[in-house]
Amino acid sequence: MSDACDVVIIGAGPAGLSLAGVLARQGWSVTVVDPAAREALAAPRDDGREIALTLLSRQLLEQWGQWSRLGETEFAPLREAQVFDGDSESPMRVAAADGAEALGWMVSNHALRRVAYESAAEAAGIVWKLGRKAQDIATDDDGARVTLDDGEVITARLLVAADSRFSASRRRMGIAARQHDFGRNMLVCRMRLEKPQPGIAWEWLGYGQTLALLPLRDDLASVVITLTPAEMDALQALSPEAFGDAVAARYGQRLGAMQLVGERHVYPLVGVAPERLVATRFACLGDAAIGMHPITAHGYNLGLRGIALLSDAMMLARRRGQDIADAEPLAEYERNLRAIAFPLYLATLSVVHLYGDDRPGMRLLRRALLRIAEYAPPFQHLMRMALSGRDAKPPLPLRLLARAVAALPGRATH
Ligand SMILES: Cc1cc2nc3c(=O)[nH]c(=O)nc-3n(C[C@H](O)[C@H](O)[C@H](O)COP(=O)(O)OP(=O)(O)OC[C@H]3O[C@@H](n4cnc5c(N)ncnc54)[C@H](O)[C@@H]3O)c2cc1C
């Protein structure tokens, strides 16, 4: 273990990269493994994802020297969220609190990946193992070992798996995970709108489809459409012009003419909730710790919370004179992250279940719940807290309802 680094991170996605930068600045020695080439990390391709960040996430990115690397045109404010049910034209509204500049911020995923890499690349103390995959891992009380696909072995005091929601490292450690395949695909793309609505996001929980609209700068918006894979294939096969018309019709012509800008990207929707987040000298991070359905826009926000919690736990261990991979700081990290992430995971599952069910009785319940939410100040407060990234424990009845709905046998979920 004498030549071991402090932490080896498997996965240079935005979570792994951000953690590497944060830890290196705290003085830890870090090794990062990813099959991507350095050029791909420095200039990531547009993957169509526009990430809604909470106010807390922005603060963390500022603190970690990432936010200032974004160009002025690379972020846009989110001032109000409107939630529509079925064919209703009157939404439930959640606006920024009085005096607040915004509810949250929109930033493209590829821009977030770039600034995470730039910030990490500038930090001293990171060894990059790029163009190679982690083939095998093993941990015991003495240390962690990662074997790369070219046979090189890396040893570390702590191994962090940031290798996606389908984390092979997590599985290799024997950690079980519940997967929820929603049987739907999500299409994301940028579109130019004839009638843009700056700063206003829509979540349209329609009958037979779920639509979202995320405001970008000027007359651009990110269009998010959830459909069955077969329906999605048909939509994708359309020419850009026909696609624009079809999408404008899906949005009920409320946004006027819509024109595709760039590529369409499609993601299968699978939620993943691991049973454990840590093991001997091992911790899961980012999507490997919780794979959220994107409808509630929590994925990377939780990834950032996880980075803050893990780095804090390591610093605390250092101050106490403990090993960074001591069971106690790792358990603390797991406890704190689970307390934030799992209620959100369950609540998201219940929203998807409830609003993916179009049966007549359910339509009434859906509408009633949105109306209650609109006029119930505690619910509005909770929504604002969730959007700003501050923790708020839902009242017991709401938590029980979320658990009950999430446990319902799957009906159509979109
Ligand atoms: C359509 C869509 C919209 C979204 N919108 C939002 C939003 O509005 N707000 C929000 O907060 N989140 C959102 N998210 C979620 C967000 O994009 C993810 O949470 C985030 O990108 C996860 O980052 P990550 O670094 O954990 O994982 P990933 O980005 O999946 O990166 C994993 C990395 O691990 C590497 N890897 C895998 N296997 C190995 C191996 N064996 N060895 C080495 N490296 C390996 C991969 O190459 C990759 O670089 C959205 C997601 C989608 C799909």
Q: What angle do CA 57, 292, 271 make, to 5 degrees?
A: 170
Which atom belonging to ligand 1 lies closest to the Cα atom of 12? 49
Mean pLDDT of 374-399: 56
Query: Is 406 or 161 the better-scoring residue by pLDDT?
Result: 161
pLDDT score, position 362? 67
- For the segment 95-147, what is each residue's pLDDT rounded down to a tens digit? 887 778 898 999 999 999 999 999 999 999 899 999 999 999 999 999 999 99
Q: Whose CA is nearest to atom 39 of ligand 1?
A: 163
Q: Contact, 312 vs 214, CB < 8 A? A: no
Q: What does the domain layout of the chain look like in residue ranges?
A: 5-71+109-179+271-341
Which residues sit with their C-beta closer than 6 Å to ligand 1? 10-16, 33-36, 49, 51-52, 109, 133-134, 162-164, 168, 186, 188, 267, 286-287, 294, 297-301, 303
Does the pLDDT of residue 155 top 70, yes or no? yes
Fill in the DSSP letter of residue 119: H
Centroid of ligand 1 to alpha carbon of 287 (angstroms): 6
pTM of the complete model:
0.90
Element (H, E) at 81: strand 80-85
Distance 34 CA to ligand 1 centre (A): 13
Residue 411's pLDDT band, with cuts at 50, 70 and 90, is: very low
For 6-34, the pLDDT digits (tens) are 999 999 999 999 999 999 999 999 999 99
| pLDDT greater at residue 160 or residue 407 | 160
Handedness of CA 69, 75, 81, 84 (dihedral sign): negative
Give the distance (Å) from ligand 1 centre to CA of residue 224: 17
Asked whether 111 and 70 are in contact (CB, 8 A), the reply is: yes
Q: Is it the case that residue 409 has pLDDT exceeding 50?
A: no
Among protein residues, the one whose CA lies closest to atom 37 of ligand 1: 163
Give the closest residue (by CA) to ligand 1 atom 9.
297
Whether 335 shows a pLDDT value over 60: the answer reads: yes
Nearest-angstrom CA–CA distance, 120 and 116:
6
pLDDT for 387 equals 57
**Region of poorest pLDDT, from 198-212, 281-295, 333-347:** 198-212
* Range of lowest pLDDT (108-122, 172-186, 221-235, 357-371): 357-371
Classify domain 5-71+109-179+271-341 at the CATH class level: alpha beta
The lowest-confidence range among 50-59, 144-153, 181-190, 293-302 is 293-302
Return the residue matching tokens 């705290």: 26
Residues whose CB is less than 8 angstroms from the CB of residue 96 and which lie 6 or more positions away in sequence, other chains included:
79, 80, 102, 103, 384
Residue nearest to atom 38 of ligand 1 (CA): 163
Mean pLDDT across the chain: 88
**pLDDT tens, residue by residue, 272-310:** 999 999 999 999 999 999 999 888 888 999 999 999 999
Q: Which residue has the tokens 């938590």?
A: 399
Percent of the residues in the chain that have a pLDDT greater than 90, as a whole number: 71
